[in-house]
C-alpha cells in the first residue's frame, strides 16, 4: 500500500504547478490552501457518511477519495508523505490511549 501512496504522491507533486485546465490537482491547488483543506474535509465527511450507511463499496471509494485529497493537502504544505509514515512508525507499539495522553502533557 505504501508504494501505491508514494507513487500517487509523486504524481500529485508532478502536477502541482501544472495547467489547471488539464489537471484536477493543479486546478484545486490553484484555488489555495483553504479550498484544498475544505475539499479534504468534504471527502472525510463523505467517508463518514458511507461508513454509517454500512455501504462497503461506497466506503472504499470515499476512503480512496479522502486519501487522495489528504495527499494533495500535504503537497500544498510541502509535507512529504514520508513524514506522516515516520510519525505512524514512531507510534507503532504504543498504546493509542497512552499516546493520546502523552500529547496532552
Residue 45: what are its φ and ψ, rounded to 5°? -65, -40
Among 19, 14, 12, which residue's Cα sits nearest to residue 36? 12
Higher pLDDT pick, 82 / 101? 82
Q: Which pLDDT band holds residue 104 (cuts at 50, 70, 90)?
A: confident
Count of domains forming the chain: 1
pLDDT in tens, 38-93: 999 999 999 999 999 999 999 999 999 999 999 999 999 999 999 999 999 999 99
Higher pLDDT pick, 101 / 70? 70
pLDDT at 105: 62
Residue 28 has pLDDT above 80, yes or no: yes
Structural domain boundaries enclosing 80: 2-104
Q: Return the CATH number at 65.
A: 1.10.287.1080
Amino acid at each position: 500500500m505504501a508504494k501505491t501512496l508514494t507513487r500517487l504522491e509523486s504524481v500529485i507533486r508532478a502536477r502541482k504547478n501544472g495547467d489547471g485546465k488539464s489537471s484536477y490537482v493543479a486546478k484545486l491547488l490553484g484555488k489555495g490552501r483553504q479550498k484544498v483543506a475544505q475539499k479534504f474535509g468534504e471527502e472525510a465527511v463523505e467517508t463518514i457518511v458511507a461508513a454509517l450507511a454500512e455501504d462497503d463499496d461506497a466506503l472504499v471509494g470515499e476512503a480512496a477519495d479522502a486519501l487522495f485529497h489528504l495527499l494533495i493537502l500535504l503537497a500544498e504544505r510541502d509535507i512529504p508523505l514520508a513524514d506522516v509514515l515516520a510519525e505512524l512508525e514512531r507510534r507503532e507499539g504504543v498504546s493509542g490511549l497512552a499516546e493520546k495522553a502523552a500529547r496532552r502533557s
